[in-house]
Amino acid sequence: MGSKMEISMKVNGIEKKSYTEPRMLLVHYLRDELDLTGTHIGCDTSQCGACTVYIDGKSVKSCTTLAVQADGTEVTTVEGLGDMEKLHAIQRGFWEEHGLQCGYCTPGVMMAMAALLKENPDPSESEIREGMKGAICRCTGYQFIVKAVQHAARSLAEENEKEKLVQSAGEGGAK
Amino acid sequence: MAKLHGARIKRQEDPRLITGNGNFTDDIKLPGMVHARVLRSPYAHAKILSIDVTQALEHPGVLAVYTGKDVNPVMQPVPTSWVVPGCNIKPKPRMPLAEEKVHYAGEGVAFVVAEDRYIAKDALEKIKVEYEELPAVTHQEDALKEGAPIIHEDVEGNLAFDWQPAEIEDEIFEQAEVVVKQRFYEQRVVPNPMETRGAVAQYNSGGGEMTIWCTSQNPHIHRMVYSEVLGIPESKLRIVAPDVGGGFGAKIGVYTEEALAGYAAKHLKRPVKWIEERSEHFLATNHARDEVIEVELAGNKDGTLTALRVVNTANMGAYLSTMGAGVPTIDFGLMITGAYDIPKAAVRTYGVYTNTTPTDAYRGAGKPEATFQIERAIDLFAHEIGMDVLEIRRKNLVKKEAFPYTNAMGLNYDSGNYQLSLEKALEMANYEELREEQKRLAAEGRLMGIGFSTYVELCGLGPSKVAGAIGFQGGLWENSTVRVHPSGKVAVYTGASPHGQGVKTTFAQVVGEKFGIPIEDIEVYSGDTGSIAMGWGTYGSRTTAVGGGALAIAADRVVDKAKKIAAHELETSPEDIELKDGVFQVKGVPGRQRTFQEIAKSANMAWDLPEGMEPALEAQSFFDPENFVYPFGTHICVVEVDKDTGKVELKRYIAVDDVGRVINPTIVEGQVHGGLAQGIGQALWEGTVYSENGQLLSGTFMDYTMPQADFFPEFETAYTETPSPVNPLGAKGVGETGTTASTPAVVNAVMDALRSYGIKDLEMPLTPEKVWAAMQNRRELV
């Protein structure tokens, strides 16, 4: 047991300050200290991806990150992705296309796939499967996860299209 | 209102799970809760000479360190719950903690409770255990050899049981025109649900009530057994399966750690949480398969099969786990003839103790192994007589007219149309064209293979009378309760305990269809023995066939009562009332009606009910089916083997399954996909490796290959619908079909690809290294 360190980070948009043991894993910090239990632990060797969160917008496995390493950063978990009032496109995709069964790996897989869509908004099926390399799901056989990601990609494209229309309408109005 | 039965409705389970609002065991946090960890044996086989916990107890934050000496005298051992009769079975009770001797690497030796998880883990390092290592044996055939290390002193030759329900005359094989003999090894795999096991236990020292939240597929079974293990009356013990992150058979089992958490919670008067780590899961949670299966298949040169004889030498691990003994005997042995009309069959199963983690049910439990051996053997038989593998299946599949069909082992297949699914699969595959393509590729020197699996499996467990006869220490009926609230909203309670199968949605569809109300008005509850009547849980693809059967009956009872109330209010007889789209209507008199919600209110207010009728609108059913159900189908796998690397590429996978009447096709497809991934996983990638001295070498996700997304092509699935006559929904169960069918389809395809090399069989998993080496050896021979 080491002495505790003061850390602060913005988690899902809210500033959090704590005294934490240096050895505490980020995933335990999020789950046990901040009660954000949507992020899960599926392995202890960093293969399964159930614990995937974002640090400053980049997806990381929170089971192989120390909480102190996230000091001063912005962390996003599945709870920050979207809620029932406003679901993220990836959450809608998983629901619409039966992308989950037991739902245990789902938060991590959704986080990873939402990050993939940011980098590649129109991935092919093989790019989606390739992009899921760091995630293990034991229930679905992955097929409906692929469909869920494709669904999300379509929704995001439509949302972007709409935004552009609104923007150009706004610009038109200003003229 | 749109039909709900058969509709692709998105799941009611999902909103909580996609927003991070699930409530899995490790998500539970109680005031004052402390954390437990298990010290596990580093040796596969050793005497425990001494355990010194002094330093661990002195470690700041440690509350207790229990050893076998502390807990074994005050707790009962965890029993074997499937005591197969007539096989001289020798179950060894599993004490909560090993005391004199450890029997496999990972067996629990001490249980530490501390203020947090990190401290508990620190404390493990401070416990000093002195062991005297003994020679270990991990393979069942080695364990049967003379002079092998003895795992349990009073079990001679490590033979846990010897099951031989039927014999067959040698002459049949001696006189047969053709006999194909083959030895298969169904390798050991690990179920690996993504959520490991865990428990949170809370004890009220005033009232003596205990609640254990745990990762369970069958909380009532866990209550029944833990009540005895802990000495807490069933009436004071509540087991809750909250959200459960997959099971696949691994969470049927009754284990020691959940009970130890209960014991510690009572002893310390603090809630205790124990959560398994993944590398711990590999050691501490049941493994599966691990059977050496020797097959003799006899028949004529024209392809008629006449007799089958199978010997299964099954590795049971260090203990006979909960359902373990039933898997290679009843589940496997009675299904060895598969979907084929083979008039005579015999089976013998040796259950063997070894210094390994116990084996038990895993998705399919015995049926995948039964299917594997017959599907592989029939291909070998066809090759032997120069017949096409499709032709031999057409010739021997049980005919549609033969149902209900009694197989050579005495099981009665409820219904089937095997030819229909076969023809549909051939059409989807465009089979003739596939064979042409295979020839074209062969001419280019490329190795394409096509494999079949025309399977049938037994599920929908099952008639309780049969359960008793086969030594299953439980019933196999199921309960469902339908409760209509005053507002007309409905609560359903079921003793089935789903953990990913979509039962909340499926069951709501059944009730919505019956009542003519939207599924949003129906909430399905499961997994809590505190509020749900006795039931037997979710495994053996039984939930829809048996629990759904109870549900349909209970819902019908509600409708009957509601009709009586409507008739009373509308001054007519119940026979004149029909229920359509949520409205009770006097037949032929438009406007004379009551809505479902109005009747719900009337029933619950009870101001004016028919003479003698009890208030409220609720019904319960305890449904015990007369028979098992037998889903079936045809799977076709197409592979290409890379000559240079031995890598097997899955080009196509076609699955046509018949799971009886389908309630939600999307959910059914999801179940098939998941099953396929696991069955194909066994064929190509998954496998457990022990070192000679019993160390688990494949004990993490780094060493054990879990199938990943880019391993698979898009599965092509379809279904036929042959209703089961043995339950009200006509459902057959779908959870295990994919796993059961796919392993042999893949191996048959790879062997087909390798035929030009004269390779008859290779042990799974068919890794590139193994396939490549086989091709090289064969080249040397040629």
Determine contact: A24 vs chain B, CB below 8 A: yes
- pLDDT tens figures, B383-406: 999 999 999 999 999 999 999 999
Residue among A37, A43, A125 whose CB faces B701 most closely: A43
- pLDDT tens figures, A118-127: 999 999 999 9
Q: State residue B764's pLDDT score.
A: 98
Determine contact: B611 vs chain A, CB below 8 A: no
pLDDT tier, B782 (very low <50, low <70, confident <90, very high otherwise) = very low
Judge: A31–B14 Cβ closer than 8 Å, yes or no.
Answer: no
Q: What is the mean pLDDT of residues A130-144?
A: 97
CB pairs under 8 A between A and B: 194
What whole-number percentage of chain B has pLDDT above 90? 98
Q: Is the pLDDT of residue B371 over 70?
A: yes
Determine contact: B122 vs chain A, CB below 8 A: yes
- Domains of chain A (ranges; CATH) run 5-81 (3.10.20.30), 89-170 (1.10.150.120)
Closest by alpha carbon to B627, among B551, B554, B549?
Answer: B549
Determine contact: A137 vs chain B, CB below 8 A: yes
Local structure of residue B459 (DSSP, 8 states): B
pLDDT tier, B27 (very low <50, low <70, confident <90, very high otherwise) = very high
CA distance A107 to chain B (A): 6
Taking CB atoms and an 8 Å cutoff, what residues of chain A touch B11? 95, 98
Q: Mention every residue, 6+ apart, whose C-beta is less than 8 A from residue A167.
A: none
Opening angle at CA B662, ends B659 and B666, nearest 5: 105
For B14-134+194-246+251-284, CATH number?
A: 3.90.1170.50
Instruction: Give B 39-78 residues with CB within 8 A of chain A.
Output: 60-61
Q: Mention every residue, 6+ apart, whose C-beta is less than 8 A from residue B466.
A: B476, B628
Instruction: Give, in order, the Cα–Cα distances in Å from B570 to each of B106, B559, B567, B586.
Output: 68, 16, 5, 8
Q: State residue A175's pLDDT score.
A: 44
Judge: A94–B14 Cβ closer than 8 Å, yes or no.
Answer: yes
Judge: A100–B18 Cβ closer than 8 Å, yes or no.
Answer: yes
What are B635's strand-pairing partners?
A: B453, B655
Closest by alpha carbon to B616, among B557, B691, B692, B661?
Answer: B557
Q: How far apart are CA B143 and CA A70, in angstroms?
A: 52
Judge: A45–B193 Cβ closer than 8 Å, yes or no.
Answer: no
Q: Mention every residue, 6+ apart, whose C-beta is less than 8 A from residue B312.
A: B291, B292, B293, B294, B328, B332, B333, B347, B348, B349, B350, B369
For B288-461+627-781, CATH number?
A: 3.30.365.10
Maximum Cα interatomic distance, chain B, rounded to a whole number of Å: 91
Q: How far apart are CA B208 and CA B232, in angstroms?
A: 8
CA distance B196 to chain A (A): 7
CATH architecture type of domain B477-623: 2-Layer Sandwich (3.30)
Residues B280, B124 contacting (CB under 8 angstroms): no
- Are β-strands A58-61 and B209-214 bridged in parallel, bridged antiparallel, or unpaired? unpaired
Q: How far apart are CA B64 and CA B41, in angstroms?
A: 19
Q: State residue B261's pLDDT score.
A: 98
Q: State residue B2's pLDDT score.
A: 72
Taking CB atoms and an 8 Å cutoff, what residues of chain A touch B500? 101-103, 139
Determine contact: A50 vs chain B, CB below 8 A: yes
Determine contact: B245 vs chain A, CB below 8 A: yes
Q: How far apart are CA B56 and CA B119, in angstroms?
A: 10
- pLDDT tens figures, B495-510: 999 999 999 999 999 9
What are B292's strand-pairing partners?
A: B185, B313
Report CA B122 to chain centroid distance, whole Å. Answer: 36
pLDDT tier, B780 (very low <50, low <70, confident <90, very high otherwise) = low
Q: What is the mean pLDDT of residues B465-490?
A: 97
Q: Is the pLDDT of residue B306 over 50?
A: yes
Q: State residue B14's pLDDT score.
A: 98
Judge: B709–A23 Cβ closer than 8 Å, yes or no.
Answer: no
Positive or negative: CA dihedral B219, B220, B226, B232 = positive
CA distance A19 to chain B (A): 15
Q: Where in chain B is the domain with CATH 3.30.365.10?
A: 288-461+627-781, 477-623
Q: State residue B462's pLDDT score.
A: 87
Q: To which H or E segment does residue B284 belong?
A: helix B278-284
The DSSP code sequence of B120-158 is HHHHHTT-EEEEEE-----SHHHHHSTTPPPSSTTSGGG
Q: State residue B767's pLDDT score.
A: 98
CA distance A37 to chain B (A): 6
What whole-number percentage of chain A has pLDDT above 90? 90
The two structure tokens encoding residue B135: 């020679």
Q: Is the pLDDT of residue B652 over 80?
A: yes
- How many other β-carbons are positioned within 10 Å of the β-carbon of residue B575? 9
CA distance B13 to chain A (A): 9
Judge: B118–A1 Cβ closer than 8 Å, yes or no.
Answer: yes
**Hey, of B9, B12, B18, which one would you mutate to test binding to chain A, going by the most A CBs within 10 A of its CB?**
B18
Taking CB atoms and an 8 Å cutoff, what residues of chain A touch B18? 78, 87, 91, 94-95, 100, 103, 106-107, 110
Q: To which H or E segment does residue B740 belong?
A: helix B737-753
Judge: A91–B17 Cβ closer than 8 Å, yes or no.
Answer: no
- How many other β-carbons are positioned within 10 Å of the β-carbon of residue B618? 20
Taking CB atoms and an 8 Å cutoff, what residues of chain A touch B738? 141
Residue among A45, A98, A107 whose CB faces B670 most closely: A98
Q: How far apart are CA B673 and CA A140, in angstroms?
A: 6
Determine contact: A159 vs chain B, CB below 8 A: no
- pLDDT tens figures, B238-277: 999 999 999 999 999 999 999 999 999 999 999 999 999 9
Q: Where in chain B is the domain with CATH 3.90.1170.50?
A: 14-134+194-246+251-284
Q: State residue A170's pLDDT score.
A: 74
- pLDDT tens figures, B1-19: 679 999 999 999 999 999 9
What are B623's strand-pairing partners?
A: B478
Report CA A109 to chain centroid distance, whole Å. Answer: 7
Determine contact: A125 vs chain B, CB below 8 A: yes
Judge: B19–A84 Cβ closer than 8 Å, yes or no.
Answer: yes
Taking CB atoms and an 8 Å cutoff, what residues of chain B touch A21? 118
Residues B330, B366 contacting (CB under 8 angstroms): yes
Instruction: Give, in order, the Cα–Cα distances in Å from B343 to each of A125, B163, B387, B409, B410.
Output: 47, 21, 21, 9, 11
Q: Can you give the C-alpha Rg of chain A in angstroms?
A: 18
CA distance B685 to chain A (A): 14
Judge: B670–A140 Cβ closer than 8 Å, yes or no.
Answer: yes
- Are β-strands B237-240 and B209-214 bridged in parallel, bridged antiparallel, or unpaired? parallel
Nearest chain B residue (CA) to A134: B708
Q: Is the pLDDT of residue B741 over 60?
A: yes
Instruction: Give, in order, the Cα–Cα distances in Å from B75 to each of B66, B131, B253.
Output: 12, 24, 18
Q: State residue B1's pLDDT score.
A: 67
CA distance B267 to chain A (A): 24
CA distance B720 to chain A (A): 21
Local structure of residue B80 (DSSP, 8 states): P
- pLDDT tens figures, A19-58: 999 999 999 999 999 999 999 999 999 999 999 999 999 9
Q: State residue B634's pLDDT score.
A: 98
Residue among B27, B670, B710 whose CB faces A101 most closely: B670
Residues B370, B326 contacting (CB under 8 angstroms): no
Q: State residue B287's pLDDT score.
A: 98
The two structure tokens encoding residue B30: 């109680």
Determine contact: A129 vs chain B, CB below 8 A: yes
Closest by alpha carbon to B158, among B170, B174, B140?
Answer: B140
3-state helix, strand and coil shares in percent for chain B, rounded to the nearest 5: 35, 25, 40
Q: State residue B297's pLDDT score.
A: 98
Q: What is the mean pLDDT of residues B162-184?
A: 96
- How many other β-carbons are positioned within 10 Å of the β-carbon of residue A2? 8
Determine contact: A138 vs chain B, CB below 8 A: yes
Taking CB atoms and an 8 Å cutoff, what residues of chain B touch A113? none
The two structure tokens encoding residue A171: 């610009």
Taking CB atoms and an 8 Å cutoff, what residues of chain B touch A95? 10-11, 14-15, 18
The set of long-range contacts for B230-233, using a CB threshold of 8 Å and a minimum separation of 24, is B230/B75, B230/B76, B230/B259, B230/B262, B230/B263, B230/B266, B231/B74, B231/B75, B231/B76, B232/B208, B232/B262
Taking CB atoms and an 8 Å cutoff, what residues of chain B touch A28? 117
Q: Is the pLDDT of residue B778 over 70?
A: yes
Q: State residue B166's pLDDT score.
A: 85
The DSSP code sequence of chain A is ----EEEEEEETTEEEEEEE-TT-BHHHIIIIIS--TTS----SSS-S-TTEEEETTEEEEGGGSBGGGGTTSEEE-HHHH--SSS--HHHHHHHHTT--SS-SSHHHHHHHHHHHHHH-SS--HHHHHHHTTT---SSSTTHHHHHHHHHHHHHHHHHHHHHHHHHHHHHHHH-
